[in-house]
Amino acid sequence: MAIDLQQIGKRFRFYTNLKELEMEQLKSITGSDEQTLSNIICGQNYLLDDLVAIIKNFPDLSSQWLIYGEGSMFKPMDEDGNCHDSAKGCLKKDKTAYLQQMKDMLVELDAAEVAKGHHADVDALKAKLDEYKAQQEQ
């Protein structure tokens, strides 16, 4: 299976937006420089060794999803039934605008996956966002 740097960048951008991570936080978490991180997010030329070093800093992020678009974005629960930190928790941004932004990014990811012939589980993510939005409106 071929690796598509632009698809990886879109998925990584989606993940970091979902986690509400800004560039300064990414640099701090990963120890990487801004140029490397920007190249990955933009899908430009970068070394896969750099990508691997970066994703090691995100224990809940599935490398299979990030690189190939297969499976879930988040790794499954551990053996003790503890869920890794995912989209749950307090949102710092306006919830409605944030959820719309995430939904728009899902549409973009879905279109890119369909164009590449991949069948990622984007519908499940959309449903979770809709469910979360409905809970917030109550």
Tens-place pLDDT, residues 7-41:
999 999 999 988 889 999 999 999 999 999 999 99
3-12, 57-66, 67-76: lowest mean pLDDT where?
A: 67-76
pTM above 0.75, yes or no: no
Task: Return the closest-CA partner of residue 88 out of 41, 43, 132.
Answer: 132
Q: Domains in the chain, ordered, with CATH?
A: 5-137 (1.10.260.40)
Contact, 43 vs 7, CB < 8 A? Answer: yes
The pLDDT of residue 130 is above 90: no
Residues 6+ apart with CB under 8 A from 5: 43, 44, 45, 46
